[in-house]
A and B are shown apart, each in its own frame.
Chain A
Amino acid sequence: MEPQHVLELPNDLGAIERSVDYLLERCRDAGFDERRLRLNLRVGVAEALANAMMYGNARDPAKHVTLEAWISGSRIRIRITDEGAGFNPDALPDPTLPQNRTRTHGRGVYLIQELMDEVTFNAEGNSIEMVLHAEEGGSSRTREAS
């Protein structure tokens, strides 16, 4: 299924907030729970975009990030893809372990995985797909092809 929303973003951190606000408004219109938008969706999308721009695209202003979104009344599916070589999300240390809590980096992917209902990466590791249900404990009523 073609995405309903496609944003081709410059590799500019200033684009993150505008993109998050755009998705929040679309999901508000679809009747999503406000706290899940304000916390879960904001964190998931903002962290994924920041990772794509800073680490995936290595802050290269010539590169872009693509955000695709599918929104229904029950859930939003978002795919964020950068132009980098990718990374292995399984190799990231758990930032909540006592020995890692004083690290200054490495909490973004963890927060995404904690706050979004489904998170998957492509094999290359340069594209993340996230699903958030409209309400806590909600389930997907529609299935979409990846």
Chain B
Amino acid sequence: MGFEVSREGDVTVLDVEGQLIVGNRQELKQMVLDRLEEGEKRFLVDFDKTGYIDSSGLGVLVSLSKKIREQGGELRLANLNEDLRTLFELTKLDTLFQIADSRDEALSSF
């Protein structure tokens, strides 16, 4: 369980492996905030390897979305499985985020 950071052109890609939950959400938040402070503007969180996101994880995505936007940046999400998509739909967060079906689709949407 963890996070992997890589670059695809001018996009910072964060792969969430395992879970995004109350126990590790601050780690993801700090990784993004550090890069935001360094001037990076475009972020993609890829959930291809993610089994579960809890409400704290959803909350940290909302928080990051706001902070990235405040800095003039953009956040995209990609590869939500059926369970994760259900959580976004139930909470209506699917209306708040730009969610792509694939990493390539997300990258080309910036």
Does B58 touch A at the CB level, under 8 Å? yes
Binding site for A on B (CB under 8 A): 19, 21-23, 52, 54-56, 58-60, 62-63, 66, 83, 86-87, 90-93, 95-96
Task: Check B54 against A43 for contact (C-beta < 8 Å).
Answer: yes
Chain A 39-96 interface residues, beta-carbon cutoff 8 Å to B: 39, 42-43, 46-47, 50, 54, 95-96
* Chain A residue at minimal CB-CB distance from B59: A104
Contacting residues, chain B, for A119 (C-beta < 8 A): none
Task: Check A102 against B62 for contact (C-beta < 8 Å).
Answer: yes
User: When chains A and B are docked, how far (Å) is the Cα of A35 from the Cα of B87?
Assistant: 13
Task: Check B91 against A50 for contact (C-beta < 8 Å).
Answer: no
Q: Chain A contact residues: over half helix, strand or loop, or mixed?
A: helix
Does A128 touch B at the CB level, under 8 Å? no
User: When chains A and B are docked, how far (Å) is the Cα of A53 from the Cα of B35?
Assistant: 31
Task: Check A47 against B55 for contact (C-beta < 8 Å).
Answer: yes
Nearest 3 pairs between A and B by C-beta?
A107-B55, A108-B55, A104-B59
Task: Check B56 against A50 for contact (C-beta < 8 Å).
Answer: yes
Interface residues on A, range: 20 to 34
Contacting residues, chain A, for B58 (C-beta < 8 A): 107
Contacting residues, chain A, for B56 (C-beta < 8 A): 50, 108
* Chain A residue at minimal CB-CB distance from B84: A39
Task: Check B90 against A114 for contact (C-beta < 8 Å).
Answer: yes
Give the Cβ gap from A12 to chain B, nearest Cβ, in Å: 10
